[in-house]
Amino acid sequence: MIMDMNTPLTKNIKPDRAFATLDNYLSTGGYEGLRIAIKELTPLDVQRAVKDAGLRGRGGAGFPTGLKWSFVPMGEDAPRPKYLVVNGDEMEPGAFKDRLLIERDPHQLVEGVIISAYAIEASMAYIFLRGEYHLGAQRMKQAIAEAYDRHYLGKNILGSDYSLELHVHTSAGRYICGEETALLNALEGKRANPRAKPPFPQISGLWGKPTVVNNVETLCNVPHILHYGVDWYQELGRGEDKGTKLFGASGRIKRPGLWELPMGTPIREILEVHAGGMQEGFRLRGFLPGGASTDFLLPEHLDVPMDYGAIEKAGSRIGTATMIILDDKTCPVAMVLNLEQFFAQESCGWCTPCRDGLPWVVSILQDILNGRGRMDDLDTLARHTRLLGPGNTYCALAPGAMGPLQSALKYFRADFERFIRQNTEGIGRMTTKNTKGFSLSAVEGGQ
Amino acid sequence: MTEDRKQETENRKQRDASCLFPVSCLLPSEIEAIKAEAGHYETPSAASIEALKIVQKNRGWISDESLKEIAALLGMAPAELDGVATFYNLIYRRPVGDTVVHYCNSASCWMLGAEKVRERFCERLGIELGETTKDGEFTLLPIVCLGACDHAPVVMVGESIHHDVDEQQVDRILDGKR
Ligand SMILES: Cc1cc2nc3c(=O)[nH]c(=O)nc-3n(C[C@H](O)[C@H](O)[C@H](O)COP(=O)(O)O)c2cc1C
Ligand code: SF4
Ligand code: FES
């Protein structure tokens, strides 16, 4: 039990059970948070508790959750209906944390949704799931049906005068749908281009009505804050930030996976203790701390704690906190190309810098890798990191895409230059036998 | 013949029969399912993606004819619905095989051997990426990160996810399907 209190998000997720059933969930205090919220607290009390707890958004941007909710118009005169939308798009390369919560403990998310919807007086909630999460959709739908049966959902929840409908929307595969305003367009059945902000969704969201969009993991924290209290929650953090978080790692490490650990856990501890260090024969070259859209960090950053501020100070973002590990036998230039191909493909095409800039970045990187690079290509790439940077595009996809590129230019410049020199000096030139694009084996290790 | 295939043949028969009448090529069951989805939203057009998926599940892909009828049902212009349909990786506007194999080519899978997996699929199926086998059984497509990077390389076959895929497992997947 003591152990469980330190890992509230995953306490019901056990290796020997496929997923936590309603009974499993209830047996560890499930739906207690909801009971407390609805029977003892007003919506504003719930908002205050979440704000005081210090919960920050787990979807990437880290916006304080209670503060986000506080912009929603409340009371009799507020526009209605109001909506709560769960962002379960999770399509960023390297990210696999929300899937665990959705598939293995669906009731935790359902309870989080109901309490959070109550906090903003929403009468309708949607769980937006990426199209590939078939199993997740099935488990969520089952959990929702059970919650209706128990009067946790529907009319007059637990005998109160609060009512809420909850529906699962499954998407059809497009990364941009995870951007919260694009997600709203997608939910309305439109092409999922982002919307201008302001107005912010809290004022004018789904069908122009007040709407809050929160990440799956963010909402899974909420029941525990209500059940065990703000003080307990704050104690969970090891540094600046509060609570626990799912941290993950993939790549050439011994034990790729996910671990629920206190906010502020040093990266070294995650990689060396939990992930078991690098696989035999591989050394750590760098890592993307928060998924594909975050800047590379180096082994020298291993002692940085996984806190929003600390990672930012080191020059990156905590993002989804699911790390991608770059080993010494993978070419960083080729890895950046792989990442930029993803962003170029998934760009929604709405604004010019992103629509035209990303394919250009891809083609320059391909040239460099194929031995057709020139030194001034590096300036062109650097210029792109500014042109597609924050403030110059309609949404954060393009700036996110520039994260790995700008940090690779800084940290792995010698690798770029080695490919380029092979061209100008004409020695050891890369062969371009593979005309359908470069192949991994051709560039691995950058020889 | 598997249950699924039987059902599909049955659907096709029904569909062919209903197509004799100009009213609708959508099956009553499809129309009903789409209407049920639309009921969860403020406007019927919000069910556009789900409607496309309902019809695609029955017919494998979205033809121009299906597109027009779904659009009419949801009160959208066909071009508007096509803007939605073509936006998504998992809506097919061209015929695909009975089973679509999606291999993940995003960062972690790429690093851990996704190309070898792709090559093995191509070799075994005798097709290039984006193609369908002659017997109409399989289509091979790339897909972005499937959210299982701790088990890279990852492949989605139909609706099921396969972890830690290597060349031998490609063989097992295909042998199990044929
Ligand atoms: C291109 C792009 C993709 C995104 N994808 C996701 C996603 O899949 N899931 C998610 O929760 N947030 C995603 N976000 C962040 C959301 O816009 C938003 O900040 C988040 O859902 C807010 O929830 P939170 O405050 O609980 O973190 C994405 C942002 C961008 C720019
Ligand atoms: S930055 Fe890219 S993804 Fe975002 S709106 Fe512009 S084109 Fe679309
Ligand atoms: S990169 Fe392939 S599953 Fe994430």
Say whether both A283 and A398 belong to one domain. Answer: no
- Kindly report, residue by residue over B88-132, the tens digit of the pLDDT: 999 999 999 999 999 999 999 999 999 999 999 999 999 999 999
| DSSP letter string, A39-59 | HH--HHHHHHHHHHHT-B-SS
Residue A289 amino acid letter: P
CA pseudo-torsion sign A85, A54, A230, A260: positive
Question: Whole-prediction pTM value?
Answer: 0.93
Range of the domain at A321: 244-327
Q: Is A315 in a helix, a strand, or coil?
A: coil
Say whether both A130 and A201 belong to one domain. Answer: yes
Q: What percent of chain A has pLDDT over 90?
A: 93
A244-250 sheet: strands from edge to edge: A257-262, A244-250, A322-327, A284-288
**Across residues B132-136, what is the average pLDDT?**
96
Asked whether residue A3 carries a pLDDT value surpassing 90, the answer given is no
Taking each helix axis as running N to C, give the angle between helix A97-104 and helix A106-119, from 0 to 180 degrees, rounded to the nearest 10: 100
Asked whether residue A1 carries a pLDDT value surpassing 80, the answer given is no
Cβ partners under 8 Å of residue B162, min gap 6: B154, B155, B156, B169, B173
Say whether both A162 and A265 belong to one domain. Answer: no
Rounded to whole angstroms, the Cα distance separating A241 from A194 reads 30
Q: Distance, CA B68 to ligand 3 centroid (Å)? A: 35
Say whether both A424 and A284 belong to one domain. Answer: no
| Distance spanning both ends of chain B, measured CA to CA | 11
pLDDT given at position A445: 35
Residue of A nearest to B38 (CA): A189
Cβ partners under 8 Å of residue B103, min gap 6: B109, B114, B117, B118, B121, B140, B141, B142, B143, B153, B154, B155, B156, B165
pLDDT: is A446 or B28 the higher one? B28
A208 CB neighbours in chain B (<8 A) are none
Asked whether residue B48 carries a pLDDT value surpassing 50, the answer given is yes
Asked whether residue A33 carries a pLDDT value surpassing 80, the answer given is yes
Work out the minimum CA distance from A281 to partner chain B, whole angstroms: 14
Residue A287 sits in a domain of what CATH number? 3.10.20.600
Residue A217 sits in a domain of what CATH number? 3.40.50.11540
Residue of B nearest to A337 (CA): B107
* Tokens coding B154: 């990852």
Chains A & B: contacts with CB separation below 8 Å: 142
- Whether ligand 2 lies within 6 angstroms of the CB of A357 is answered as no
* Tokens coding A60: 């990437």
Ligand nearest, relative to CA of residue A389: 2
Distances (CA, A) of A7 to A113, A216, A220, A230, A306: 20, 16, 12, 15, 16
Q: Are A123 and A82 in contact (CB under 8 A)?
A: yes
Asked whether residue A257 carries a pLDDT value surpassing 70, the answer given is yes
Say whether both A338 and A323 belong to one domain. Answer: no
pLDDT: is A252 or B19 the higher one? A252
Residue A405 sits in a domain of what CATH number? 1.20.1440.230
Say whether both A313 and A360 belong to one domain. Answer: no
- B115 to chain A, any CB pair closer than 8 A? The answer is yes
Asked whether residue A300 carries a pLDDT value surpassing 80, the answer given is yes
Of the candidates A374, A386, A370, A300, the one whose C-alpha atom is nearest the C-alpha of residue A333 is A370
* Tokens coding B39: 């009921």
Q: Is A253 in a helix, a strand, or coil?
A: strand
- B148 to chain A, any CB pair closer than 8 A? The answer is yes
| Average pLDDT, rounded, for chain A | 94
A84: which DSSP letter? E
Work out the minimum CA distance from B21 to partner chain A, whole angstroms: 29
Partner-chain contact A338 B89, CB within 8 Å: no
Say whether both A231 and A154 belong to one domain. Answer: yes
pLDDT: is B157 or B21 the higher one? B157
Final residue of a structural domain among A288, A303, A327: A327
Say whether both A347 and A372 belong to one domain. Answer: yes
| Average pLDDT, rounded, for chain B | 91
Say whether both A339 and A401 belong to one domain. Answer: yes
pLDDT given at position A314: 98
Say whether both A338 and A311 belong to one domain. Answer: no
Say whether both A394 and A340 belong to one domain. Answer: yes
Q: Distance, CA B143 to ligand 2 centroid (Å)? A: 20
Final residue of a structural domain among A203, A236, A269: A236
Say whether both A307 and A432 belong to one domain. Answer: no
- Kindly report, residue by residue over B155-164, the tens digit of the pLDDT: 999 999 999 9
- B155 to chain A, any CB pair closer than 8 A? The answer is no
- Kindly report, residue by residue over A50-94, the tens digit of the pLDDT: 999 999 999 999 999 999 999 999 999 999 999 999 999 999 999
- A248 to chain B, any CB pair closer than 8 A? The answer is yes
- Kindly report, residue by residue over A194-252, the tens digit of the pLDDT: 999 999 999 999 999 999 999 999 999 999 999 999 999 999 999 999 999 999 999 99
- B61 to chain A, any CB pair closer than 8 A? The answer is no
Confidence tier at B177 by pLDDT (50, 70, 90): confident
How many structural domains comprise chain A?
3
* Tokens coding A356: 């035209």
Q: Distance, CA A47 to ligand 2 centroid (Å)? A: 32
Tell me phi and psi for residue B109, to 5 degrees.
-70, -40
Facing residues of A244 across strands? A262
**Across residues B138-164, what is the average pLDDT?**
97
| Distance spanning both ends of chain A, measured CA to CA | 53
Confidence tier at A428 by pLDDT (50, 70, 90): very low
CA angle A65, A205, B41 (to 5 degrees): 115
- A257 to chain B, any CB pair closer than 8 A? The answer is yes
| Residues framing ligand 1 (Cβ under 6 A) | A 57-61, 63, 68, 87, 89-92, 175-176, 178-180, 213-215, 218, 395-397, 400
Final residue of a structural domain among A264, A298, A327: A327
B150 CB neighbours in chain A (<8 A) are 96, 248-250, 256-258
